[in-house]
């Protein structure tokens, strides 16, 4: 895919999308392990085709997500676990058994299972899958203004100068 550089020349969307490790940021759980690379997060998602109407609080679900890639950035597998809904989280927002606490604990366990895990920048190829009716993946997109890649359902956008930094 080609994008137009501000100076007028075409610049391709890279085959491998760089994602920068950002401690205490939205990309704090990415890096390398013995089997390749990983990208993890705790994130809310709605099912595809969702319409905002009464009962939306049950449809907004919190997931612990771990995507695995080989050393060359090719998608391998995902572990995606639903901790509960926004409605459930509101019943006990700060408790040790809250939906958010459960999601964070599950993600910590997923990450501990990765041998020789190190947190650092990664570079991965676009991928996509649907779990519980919710869309997950890294999708390359292009329009008249250029190209970018977006991570779903986190809604992190990556683009020129392709340094791994994200926009929300």
165 within a domain of the structure (yes/no): no
Model pTM score: 0.90
Read off the pLDDT of residues 124-148 as tens digits, 9 standing for 90 and up.
999 999 999 999 999 999 888 789 9
164 within a domain of the structure (yes/no): no
User: Which positions of the chain have pLDDT values less than 70?
Assistant: 1-11
Read off the pLDDT of residues 103-129 as tens digits, 9 standing for 90 and up.
999 999 999 999 999 999 999 999 999
167 within a domain of the structure (yes/no): no
53 within a domain of the structure (yes/no): yes
How many structural domains does the chain have?
A: 1
Domain limits for position 20: 2-159
CB 107 within 8 A of CB 58: no
34 within a domain of the structure (yes/no): yes
| DSSP state for residue 14 in the 8-state scheme | P
E strands present in the chain: 2-4, 10-12, 17-19, 30-33, 36-45, 61-69, 75-85, 118-119, 122-124, 127-131, 134-143, 146-152, 156-158, 166-167
Q: In angstroms, rounded to a whole number, what is the distance separating the alpha carbons of residues 161 and 126? A: 18
With CA atoms as reference, report the closest residue to 105 among 96, 92, 114, 118.
96
Q: What is the pLDDT of residue 11?
A: 58
Q: What is the pLDDT of residue 9?
A: 44
Kindly state the tokens that stand for 11.
């610049």
On the CB side of 90, CA atoms within 13 Å amount to 8
17 within a domain of the structure (yes/no): yes
Q: What is the pLDDT of residue 3?
A: 42
Q: What is the pLDDT of residue 168?
A: 82
Q: What is the pLDDT of residue 1?
A: 46
Q: What is the pLDDT of residue 50?
A: 82
75 within a domain of the structure (yes/no): yes
37 within a domain of the structure (yes/no): yes
């Amino acid at each position: 895919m080609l994008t137009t550089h501000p100076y007028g020349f075409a610049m391709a969307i890279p085959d491998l999308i760089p994602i920068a490790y950002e401690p205490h940021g939205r990309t704090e759980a990415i890096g390398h392990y013995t089997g390749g690379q990983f990208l993890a997060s705790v994130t809310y998602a709605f099912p595809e085709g969702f319409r905002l109407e009464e009962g939306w609080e049950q449809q907004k679900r919190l997931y612990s997500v771990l995507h695995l890639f080989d050393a060359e950035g090719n998608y391998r597998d995902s572990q995606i676990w639903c901790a509960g809904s926004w409605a459930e989280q509101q019943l006990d927002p700060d408790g040790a058994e809250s939906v958010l606490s459960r999601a964070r604990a599950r993600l910590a366990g997923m990450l501990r299972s990765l041998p020789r895990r190190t947190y650092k920048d990664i570079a991965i190829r676009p991928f996509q899958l649907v779990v519980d009716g919710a869309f997950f993946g890294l999708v390359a997109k292009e329009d008249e203004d250029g190209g970018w890649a977006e991570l779903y359902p986190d809604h992190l956008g990556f683009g020129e100068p392709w340094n791994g930094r994200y926009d929300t």
